[in-house]
Amino acid sequence: MNSEIAPAHRVSKKKRGSNDINTFHSLFVLFSHFMFSMYYHRKRTSEFHEKGDIRMCGIIGYVGEKVAMPVLLDGLKRLEYRGYDSAGIAVVEDGCMVTFRRTGKIAGLEALCQENPTLSRWGIGHTRWATHGVPSEKKAHPHLDCRQRIAVVHNGIIENYRQLRKELEDIGHVFLSETDSEVVAHLLEGGGAPLQRIQKTVIKLQGSYALCILFQEEPDTLYGVRMFNPLVLGVGENENFLASDIPAFLDKTRKVVFLDDGDITRITPNSWEIVDFYGKQKTQATVVQIPWDPLTAEKGGYKHFMLKEIHEQPQALEDTLLGRWDLVNGRVRFDELEGFALGTVERIVIIACGTACHAGMIGKYMIEQLARVPVEVDYASEFRYRDPLIDEKTLVLCISQSGETADTLAAARLARERQAMVLSICNGMGTTLTRISDRTLYTRAGVEIGVASTKAFSCQLAVLFLLSLYLAQQRTTIGNQLLSTHIQSLLALPRQMNDLLKNSATIHELARQYYLYHDFLYLGRGVCYPLALEGALKLKEVSYLHAEGLSAGEMKHGPIALIEPDVISVVLLGKGIAGAKTLGNIEEIKARKGKVIVVSHPDHWGEIPLVEQVITITDTNKYLVPLLMIIPLQLFAYYVALEKGSDVDQPRNLAKSVTVE
Ligand code: F6R
């Protein structure tokens, strides 16, 4: 908290920007802005892969007639799904900058603010989820300049921050954190009007950023800057907002201006204006009326969280891969594993539940074939009661989205008791599993709300593949050339996933044809066998239909007795020998008049016997086939459930996190 008082002066209200509202035009603009920003965001994030940390964080700024603190806290809570390892706000009270920061969820920050209420009517807030490093109050935003008169919140990455920081330190600036964001606050110091200082600063920044800035010297005014990171302006009655995402303020106003890359906006309670980095006024900014209710907005316009999360997979995958590879030297990098004695590992035991276990089963193929280490996979609920044979040469790899699944936690504790090394692959930051484990490799899927796990699964597979390559490079079971090729295949996945997602309408049509059937068999071999289990699990969870995943080779040992015209077989044709062998199953099913939907890799299979439908994925290596095939399987489960009218996000009898045995 800072109590320095700066000379306060009020600025005159600027002329309001254009607020021409036309619903049709608005929706068009909304859509094109969305596509444009997706394009840029994706383009930029792929460029940043080599450089490091991109954060999934939330920004809120408020200036208006209400007391700012509760508005900021409320906005942060609505953005909490973007990240919650630390949060903070800054307001100006009686001419003095006041900041509050806390690690952990927003509730902690809220309690701190309640103990220290302020009446300020303008302020900024931030919720942070770092993809690297341990959360701390020092790293939490807002960051301040040396004299604590300028507060900045930032999403994105300042790529050239090391160089900028050195230049600033050389002329006497003192930094309080190691973050790249803090350089922005220091660059903003100096003479001139705040807007000019912002212009001088942004032209020095390289990277991606959305910024919200508060100058103690300029009351009732906030600034926002957007460059390759989302920032929207909410236009209210006697109040205006800035936020990284619309849900932050949608219960207060539905009028939104989507900022473009290269925009600087200045907002006061009754005015807003946009200029470019060189001060030129923007004349065509349009106010868009958002038709969503607040809940729909949190779903990003999708009808259900499950659908939103299916569509988020390309981005989640990009985030998960970030900073974990080095194409120039053809290496996989896991900073989290530095100094971890993996060299002594003789055996790996993967334990998990449900979807996470299916990811683990696919991981077994990857690790054994690439790194030549024996791998066993077990459901955590089985492992914990089977008196497992493990010792200090065993690596127990626990996989969990939530990090709070009771059986997985019990299994991890048992593994520790028996001296095994415990590594986890987890999505929940700072959760119990990560605290029990010796090391954690985070998936960076973002918050998963739909009960049926989707994006966590693909991110778990990506981390497993990276881990297989990491082990393979350590054990020299892979050559540099092949390693590079595999990394390249991994990096191509987000784009390939996007292409498959564009095909949703075909899958919806397929679901319309089949949602009235009652029995579905999913068949696969090799990596497609666990994928068959996952495809069936997705369908049964959300549509309540009978769906069974089977190893295709086991069909003739019993399950083939089930085939009849009303039974639908979903056959997953992977690469190589596994795919070739599965072709035989199709003939057997067709001969018994069963219906067949094929999801196929584009290998040349010759004649596929006459089947009801073939869905083809794009080409990738044999280990990564599941990451693409899962998209049509998830979409099929979703659309069948939709047609049946079930509660997709909260299916009956299920909970998102199974914290009891
Ligand atoms: C299926 C699903 C569950 C979870 C399982 C493990 O869609 O969500 O099968 O995968 O309960 O949960 P986590 O990964 O949180 O340990």
Nearest atom (ligand 1) to Cα of 658? 11
Same domain, 481 and 588: no
Q: Determine, yes or no, domain membership for 12.
A: no
Mean pLDDT to the nearest integer, 232-245: 95
Q: Determine, yes or no, domain membership for 61.
A: yes
Q: Determine, yes or no, domain membership for 20.
A: no
Q: Determine, yes or no, domain membership for 444.
A: yes
Ligand 1, from 355, 362, 459, 538: best to mutate by most atoms within 8 Å of Cβ?
A: 355
Q: What are phi and psi of 415, to 5 degrees?
A: -60, -40
Same domain, 119 and 212: yes
Ligand 1, from 402, 448, 533, 544: best to mutate by most atoms within 8 Å of Cβ?
A: 402
Q: What is the pLDDT of residue 86?
A: 84
Same domain, 223 and 125: yes
Whole-number Å distance, alpha carbon 353 to ligand 1 midpoint, is: 6
Closest residue by Cα to atom 3, ligand 1, is: 354
> Is pLDDT above 70 for 18?
no
From the candidates 14, 105, 644, 656, which is the catalytic residue? Answer: 656
- The most confident of 48-57, 416-425, 597-606, by mean pLDDT: 416-425
Mean pLDDT to the nearest integer, 130-155: 83
Give the domain extent around 490: 295-497
Same domain, 509 and 436: no
- Residue where a domain stops, chosen among 290, 323, 343: 290
Q: Determine, yes or no, domain membership for 4.
A: no
Closest residue by Cα to atom 9, ligand 1, is: 354
Q: What is the pLDDT of residue 577?
A: 86
Q: Determine, yes or no, domain membership for 380.
A: yes
What is the total count of domains within the chain?
A: 3
Lookup result for tokens 């969990």: 400
Can you say whether residue 220 is alpha, beta or left, with left for phi > 0 and alpha for psi between -120 and 50 degrees? left
Same domain, 242 and 324: no
| CB of 582 closer than 8 Å to CB of 572 | yes
Q: Name which residue leads in pLDDT, 134 or 122.
A: 122
| CB of 229 closer than 8 Å to CB of 216 | no
Ligand 1, from 357, 362, 398, 405: best to mutate by most atoms within 8 Å of Cβ?
A: 405
List pocket residues of ligand 1, CB cut-off 6 Å. 353-356, 400-402, 405, 408, 452-453, 537, 541, 657-658
Whole-number Å distance, alpha carbon 46 to ligand 1 midpoint, is: 29
Whether 57 is catalytic: yes
Confidence at 446, pLDDT banded by 50, 70, 90:
confident
Mean pLDDT to the nearest integer, 495-505: 95
Nearest-angstrom CA–CA distance, 512 and 509: 5
Same domain, 270 and 382: no
Nearest atom (ligand 1) to Cα of 355? 10
Whole-number Å distance, alpha carbon 97 to ligand 1 midpoint, is: 45
Same domain, 64 and 140: yes
> What's the mean pLDDT when you consider all of the chain?
87
Same domain, 422 and 486: yes
Q: What is the pLDDT of residue 192?
A: 93
Same domain, 323 and 469: yes
| CB of 345 closer than 8 Å to CB of 367 | no
Ligand 1, from 384, 453, 461: best to mutate by most atoms within 8 Å of Cβ?
A: 453
| CB of 418 closer than 8 Å to CB of 443 | no
Closest residue by Cα to atom 10, ligand 1, is: 355
Whole-number Å distance, alpha carbon 534 to ligand 1 midpoint, is: 11
Strand order in the sheet with 263-268: 143-144, 150-158, 207-215, 222-227, 263-268, 271-276
- Residue where a domain stops, chosen among 290, 318, 351: 290
Closest residue by Cα to atom 5, ligand 1, is: 354
Same domain, 459 and 564: no
Mean pLDDT to the nearest integer, 412-417: 96
Q: What is the pLDDT of residues 505-560, one digit of tens each?
A: 999 999 999 999 999 999 999 999 999 999 999 999 999 999 999 999 999 999 99
Whole-number Å distance, alpha carbon 31 to ligand 1 midpoint, is: 33
Q: What does the block give as tokens for 250?
A: 């949608």
CATH of the domain at 585: 3.40.50.10490
Same domain, 122 and 208: yes
What's the pTM? 0.69
Same domain, 452 and 351: yes
Nearest-angstrom CA–CA distance, 55 and 43: 16
Nearest atom (ligand 1) to Cα of 433? 16
Whole-number Å distance, alpha carbon 310 to ligand 1 midpoint, is: 15
Q: What does the block give as tokens for 377?
A: 């996979």
- What angle separates helix 625-644 from helix 528-543, to the nearest 10 degrees? 20
CATH of the domain at 114: 3.60.20.10
- Residue where a domain stops, chosen among 450, 473, 497: 497
Q: Determine, yes or no, domain membership for 3.
A: no
Q: Determine, yes or no, domain membership for 9.
A: no
Whether 282 is catalytic: no
